[in-house]
Amino acid sequence: MDNSTIVFIAVLGVAFIFLRWLIAPIPPQLPNELNEALANSVNNSNRPNNSNNSNSATNSNANRRGRREPSDDMIEVVQTIAPQLTRGQIRMDLERSGSVEVTMERYMETGSLPFPPGESAATQSYQSDISEHSQATKKEPENLIDKYDLKSKIKGDEGEGIENIDENKWGSSKEERSSLLNKKREEMILQARKRLASQLQNEVAL
């Protein structure tokens, strides 16, 4: 047997082994490995979204903590000037704005405030009926100026009889905070009275 025959037989043997390996069936474990690889890929793709959601929630919580929780005095100031608003409306807007002035400006512009979840105009109407009924039982309606004894602070130009309060100032003690809130309430009542008088003058002029 010459060398060319031996080489030919060896090539056929190698080719047979290669073809046998090429057409061999896929092991049953391979699909499971593919499924695990796909699952890991999906989990890795979801991780950035989860991280973004976590960061958004953290930032939202930080913003909420940074704002001062509206106190009962702040709600009372707004409700004194706008008695048709419910405490839920006032509280929700104060939580957003963090300022009595901003809430009152929004009310002056729109004539109302958004309702909190679970509360509607029907609730407001029911509370208004209760308020009107309780006010009807009184002998005389109470004037805000008389109620808070502000006659001495009304001068030629209303609103100048009370000092301006620094919005960024917040008392260090409970007594100081209570005093600042009382002054803020007096200031808002006088300013609302002045705006109402100005609106009435404009309507008369028209």
| Cα 86 from Cα 123, distance rounded (Å) | 8
Spatial separation of the C-alpha atoms in residues 66 and 91, rounded to whole Å: 16
Contacts of 179 (CB under 8 A, 6+ apart): 171
Report domain extents, the chain.
3-66, 69-141, 142-206
Predicted TM-score (pTM) of this structure: 0.35
Q: pLDDT tens-digit profile of 7-49?
A: 888 888 888 787 777 776 555 544 555 556 666 765 665 555 5
Q: What letter does residue 168 receive in the DSSP assignment?
A: T
pLDDT tens-digit series, residues 122-138? 555 555 555 555 555 55
81 contact partners, CB below 8 Å, separation of at least 6: 104, 144, 188, 189, 192
* C-alpha gyration radius of the chain: 38
Tokens for 145? 């100026």
Pair 190, 161: CB distance under 8 Å: yes
- As a whole number of angstroms, the distance between CA 116 and CA 120 comes to 8
Per-residue model confidence as pLDDT tens digits over 168-181:
555 567 777 777 77
pLDDT digits (tens, 9 = 90+) for 105-115: 888 888 788 88
DSSP string, 39-62: HHHHHHHHHHHHHHHHHHHHHHHH
